[in-house]
């Protein structure tokens, strides 16, 4: 029987959905980081459970032709790019396979049209948002990323999938913090001032927002720091401070202060302009988000007579993309600030046929039903946990002709599609979209039509 620290030669036969290699030994399934299908490795056993275990590569006996040999392992160890060791063309195939497998295993569907994954021409340096912890490592203030499943900071200068200008700003601020002797946060001791740097950059506008997350209000000589940042980076139009006094994994605390400029930046998506605040949900890959939303528009095959309900409407990015093609859009979102942002974004773009409310989707739909609002198209873009059963029943009760489902988790999407099928909807086609190249995440657009 295998036990911890044993060495065993194995062949990797598959990948887990999070990018770990899978090997089978003595009836156990082992997960091995940085191992690809087809590779033979000498594996050291790290942990053995009842039916599975974890191992690490002690030595590669043979490597896959699909291996990206140039990847710095720091990106795998931190999870920044947990698929980065796999050639991009194979990442796309694997993501499509995940969608196909989930539809079959969970929803029992095998004859659905699942297109090839929509890919990104430059699948690196795409993230328009960074959330970077600041900690002391070997006596020095560092910025970087936590090692997976830990709070040990690995100092990183080039984040690989982040906008290069964001990387440059983070290093500049890191050096300023060192120079001004600002103390980094220490989780164990509950000491230090600066916890995180959060940066957002408009893909089309180039406008940059910097948020300094601190444990208390006062930052020594902050005016001089702000002056230096703005002089070196004229694109910085917003510098905020967020105060988070709690010992928590949440990045932001409740209090924001504007230290310089405005409290939002602007960017465009599919020709509309959006005001983006520090807490706004805004897709981190603008280029591929446009492809995702355009796919949703194309699948919905909209006409000027259509009435669209946009559930989980956020700051309005999907609903406002639809608005110009249809009679009316009704958006619902539980986060009140997001609804205020959506209304402002409608005004910003001169869109008058989009109406947004702060409520649960179930309650809003019941109310709209009573008011005689009859949607022809329902668009949903739920979080990773997918839709609730009560939402699915309430939305099907409104009898939209089409449901366009935008998903960031193929497993919960397949589960929800199965429920919609029981309520008289048929899955027509699915388009995977690679919104997060080099990582295990896959987005999809699925079209369901009333049978």
Mean pLDDT, the chain, rounded, equals 97
Are the C-beta atoms of residues 310 and 286 closer than 8 Å to each other? no
| Residues 235-271: tens digit of each pLDDT | 999 999 999 999 999 999 999 999 999 999 999 999 9
| Residues 111-148: tens digit of each pLDDT | 999 999 999 999 999 999 999 999 999 999 999 999 99
Residue 1 confidence (pLDDT): 87
| Residues 279-291: tens digit of each pLDDT | 999 999 999 999 9
**What average pLDDT does the segment 299-306 reach?**
97
| Residues 346-401: tens digit of each pLDDT | 999 999 999 999 999 999 999 999 999 999 999 999 999 999 999 999 999 999 99
In whole angstroms, what is the distance from residue 113 CA to residue 439 CA?
24
| Residues 398-425: tens digit of each pLDDT | 999 999 999 999 999 999 999 999 999 9
Task: Report the candidate in 440, 451, 387, 374 with the shortest Cα–Cα distance to residue 413.
Answer: 387
Is pLDDT of 88 > 90? yes
| Domain locations in the chain as residue ranges | 7-67, 94-121+283-450, 129-269
**Distances 186 to 40, 131, 195 between C-alpha atoms, Å:** 41, 17, 8
Are the C-beta atoms of residues 98 and 16 closer than 8 Å to each other? no
Is pLDDT of 4 > 90? yes
Residue among 408, 433, 447, 448 flagged as catalytic? 408
Is pLDDT of 154 > 90? yes
Are the C-beta atoms of residues 337 and 277 closer than 8 Å to each other? yes
Please state which CATH number belongs to domain 94-121+283-450.
3.40.50.150
Are the C-beta atoms of residues 340 and 370 closer than 8 Å to each other? no
- Chain center to CA of 143: 21
Task: Report the candidate in 19, 13, 14 with the shortest Cα–Cα distance to residue 437.
Answer: 19
Residue 109 confidence (pLDDT): 96
Residue 100 confidence (pLDDT): 97
3-class secondary structure, 224: helix
| Residues 164-199: tens digit of each pLDDT | 999 999 999 999 999 999 999 999 999 999 999 999
Categorize the per-residue pLDDT at 431 as very low, low, confident or very high, splitting at 50, 70 and 90: very high
**What average pLDDT does the segment 9-16 reach?**
97
| Tokens describing residue 42 | 């000498």
Specify whether 408 is catalytic.
yes
Q: Which residues contact 284 (CB under 8 A, 6 or more apart)?
A: 126, 127, 128, 129, 435, 436
Of the chain, the percentage scoring pLDDT greater than 90 comes to 98
Architecture label for domain 7-67: Beta Barrel (2.40)
Is pLDDT of 274 > 90? yes
Are both 7-67 and 129-269 of the same fold?
Answer: yes
Q: Which CATH class is domain 129-269?
A: mainly beta
């Amino acid at each position: 029987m295998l036990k911890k620290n044993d060495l065993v030669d194995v062949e990797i036969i598959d990948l887990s959905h999070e990018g770990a290699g899978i090997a089978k030994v003595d009836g156990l399934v082992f997960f091995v980081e940085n191992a690809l299908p087809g590779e033979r490795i000498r594996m050291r056993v790290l942990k053995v459970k009842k039916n599975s275990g974890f191992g690490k590569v002690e030595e590669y006996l043979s490597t896959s032709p699909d291996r990206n040999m140039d990847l710095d392992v720091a990106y795998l160890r931190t999870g920044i790019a947990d698929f980065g060791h796999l050639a991009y063309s194979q990442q796309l195939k694997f993501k499509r396979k995940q969608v196909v497998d989930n539809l079959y295993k969970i929803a029992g569907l095998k004859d659905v049209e699942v297109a090839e994954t929509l890919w990104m021409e430059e699948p690196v340096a795409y993230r328009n948002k960074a959330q970077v912890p600041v900690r002391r490592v070997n006596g020095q203030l560092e910025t970087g990323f936590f090692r997976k499943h830990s709070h040990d900071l690995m100092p990183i200068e080039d984040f690989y999938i982040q906008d290069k200008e964001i990387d440059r700003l983070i290093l500049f601020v890191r050096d300023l913090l060192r120079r001004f002797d600002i103390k980094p946060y220490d989780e164990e001791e509950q000491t230090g001032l600066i916890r995180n740097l959060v940066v957002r950059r408009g893909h089309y506008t180039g406008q940059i927002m910097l948020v300094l997350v601190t444990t208390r209000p006062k930052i020594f000589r902050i005016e001089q720091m702000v002056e230096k940042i703005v002089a070196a980076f004229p694109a910085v139009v917003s510098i905020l401070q967020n105060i988070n006094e709690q010992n928590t994994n949440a990045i932001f605390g409740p209090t924001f202060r504007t230290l310089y400029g405005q409290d939002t930046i602007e960017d465009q998506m599919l020709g509309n302009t959006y005001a983006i605040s520090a807490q706004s949900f805004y897709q981190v890959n603008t280029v591929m988000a446009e492809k995702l939303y355009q796919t949703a528009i194309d699948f919905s095959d909209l006409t000027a007579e259509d009435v669209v309900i946009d559930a989980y409407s956020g700051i309005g990015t999907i609903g406002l993309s639809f608005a110009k093609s249809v009679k009316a859009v009704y958006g619902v979102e539980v986060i009140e600030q997001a609804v205020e942002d959506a209304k402002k974004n409608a005004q910003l773009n001169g869109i008058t046929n989009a109406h947004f409310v702060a409520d649960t989707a179930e309650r809003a739909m019941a109310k709209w039903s009573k008011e005689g609002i009859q949607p022809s198209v329902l668009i949903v873009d739920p979080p990773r946990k997918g839709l609730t059963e009560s939402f699915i029943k309430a939305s099907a009760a409104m009898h939209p002709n089409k449901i366009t489902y935008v998903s960031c988790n193929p497993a919960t999407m397949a589960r929800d599609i199965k429920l919609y099928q029981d309520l008289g909807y048929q899955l027509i086609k699915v388009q995977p979209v690679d919104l997060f190249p080099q990582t295990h995440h896959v987005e999809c657009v699925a079209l369901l039509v009333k049978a």
